[in-house]
Amino acid sequence: MKESATWYSDRVQSEVKLVRWGTYGTPVLLFPTAGGDAEEVERMHLIRVLDPLITSGRIKVYSVDSIAARSWGDTSISARHATWLQNQFDGLVSREVVPAIRHDCQSDDIEIVVTGASIGAFNAMASICRHPDIFKLAICMSGSYDVQRFIKGHGGRGLDGQPDGNFYHSSPLHFVPNLPEGEQLQRLRSRFILMCHGGGRWEDPEQDWTMARILGSKRIPNRVDPWGDGYDHDWPTWRAMLPHYLEKA
């Protein structure tokens, strides 16, 4: 049921692992949190709670190593290198991970559900907004979309109020409001983005509402689901959320 593949990616200049759980069903790309690797979701029991959907052939779950710790999280590097690396990660996902998933599914054009929590939700949001030709649904849990705050202190070498092209194109909060009429926006309007958050500790619900207003202004279908008090920005919350939404996907 579980298989993995590892390769060296010139894009992010490191080895990358892609792990799969399941044999049949809709492919789901599940991004880890900031410091996580491809198997974090298994260690934190997300795969366990998804097992009924996996074993019944409803879904196949894939996860890939995060580079957030090397980009947003490494304050020893310049902000511009951090944003370059994040943009390279998008290329890794769309040009290396997605073809690997489609090859595994024996389909050159199968559409993928994308999801994640915290920074994983940011990557899910960025993926569907940048590649609506690939991803059909995003489930973004406890999203952190304002990543500009992560680069302000990079070794004292922030972007000085001038986001570069790598940052702009990596951040849906910045590029979605300026999407022109055209194929990308039209495809996005045929997709769906679901954002959910708890009302407990460490959550920032305004991140979802801000993103929802931006998506709504471009007529991109979306919904925000608040889960209320008692749901913290933590794995127990995400273990409750993800099976609930994937059951309906």
Structure confidence by residue, pLDDT tens digits, 141-165 = 999 999 877 766 554 334 454 557 8
Average pLDDT over residues 182-189: 98
Burial class of residue 176 (count of CB atoms within 10 Å of its CB; 0-12, 13-18, 19+): buried
Digit-coded pLDDT (tens) for 77-93: 788 888 898 999 999 99
The two structure tokens encoding residue 168: 């702009």
> Domains of the chain, with CATH numbers?
2-246 (3.40.50.1820)
* Nearest by Cα to 39 from 59, 16, 56: 16
Work out the average pLDDT over 230-235.
97
Tell me: the pLDDT tens digits for 18-42?
A: 999 999 999 999 999 988 999 999 9
Give the residue from 206, 150, 42 showing the smallest Cα distance to 159: 150
For tokens 């649904």, the residue is 137
**Which residue has better confidence, 72 or 182?**
182
* Beta carbons of 35 and 120 less than 8 angstroms apart: no
Instruction: Lay out the sheet containing 2-9: strands in order across.
Output: 2-9, 14-21, 59-64, 26-31, 112-117, 135-141, 192-197, 222-226
197 pLDDT higher than 80: yes
- Residue 230 or 160, more confident: 230
Query: What pTM, to 2 d.p., does this model score?
Result: 0.94
Locate 104 and state its tokens. 């595994």
**Range of lowest pLDDT (44-48, 93-97, 150-154, 206-210):** 150-154
Whether the CB-CB separation of 100 and 124 falls below 8 Å is answered with no
